[in-house]
A and B are shown apart, each in its own frame.
Chain A
Amino acid sequence: KAGVTQTPRYLIKTRGQQVTLSCSPISGHRSVSWYQQTPGQGLQFLFEYFSETQRNKGNFPGRFSGRQFSNSRSEMNVSTLELGDSALYLCATRRGGSAGANVLTFGAGSRLTVL
């Protein structure tokens, strides 16, 4: 069973550019969540998508956006990059039913460096 696939794994951008990250969930998982991980802030929730709709949203500026496709794959976009956006971006998926017991399965992450 394939795991959660995130691409690209590493990328370097400069301030002002934009970036798009991709996440392919485990087969059957319809919920995709995105997290930003930095040394000082830990895991910060960005947003969650389920059936192509944003279900929950964290406290991030509008430069951070996402979407989900009909095959449950998700992308997140960060526009007008700032130095502080340098982080590990983690995608986590789950079946997405009403049960809070659904376990999140994480991808290996996309490490973004902004110069």
Chain B
Amino acid sequence: AQKVTQAQTEISVVEKEDVTLDCVYETRDTTYYLFWYKQPPSGELVFLIRRNSFDEQNEISGRYSWNFQKSTSSFNFTITASQVVDSAVYFCALSEAGTGNQFYFGTGTSLTVIP
């Protein structure tokens, strides 16, 4: 079974629109970590944010915000006022203490921001 599900395969938005990328995870561990990575066309995945299972406080960082809800096992990522440079593939990932901290990645959401 998929541990991390990103149901949105591709999203297109017009520049300056807000966009939310969905991520649903599955784990039986009480201690786990959630991550978002961005992969621009150059290919290198870039770390964006990390949250642990004991910290449901959501955060806003510039144009980025994250919504972590344990009740629904979701860890969604929102970009406000999107820009062309936001075009990339975004990956959600889970790391569980019980499986040796192995990372499980979702299949990614390809975001295209149209100027």
Task: List the count of A-B residue pairs having beta carbons below 8 Å apart.
Answer: 61
What is the number of residues of chain A that contact chain B, defined by CB distance less than 8 Å?
24
Listed stretches B14-22, B65-73, B105-113; interface member: B105-113
What is the number of residues of chain B that contact chain A, defined by CB distance less than 8 Å?
28
Is B64 located at the chain interface by the 8 A CB criterion?
A: no
B6 to chain A, nearest CB (A): 9
Within 8 Å CB of B103, what residues of A?
Answer: 33, 45, 92, 104
Can you pick out 16 interface pairs between chain A and chain B where the beta carbons lie within 8 Å of each other? A35-B105, A42-B91, A42-B105, A45-B102, A90-B45, A92-B103, A100-B33, A101-B95, A102-B95, A102-B101, A104-B35, A104-B37, A105-B47, A106-B44, A108-B44, A111-B43
Assuming the contacts A42-B108, A45-B103, asked whether A101 and B44 have C-beta atoms less than 8 A apart, the reply is no
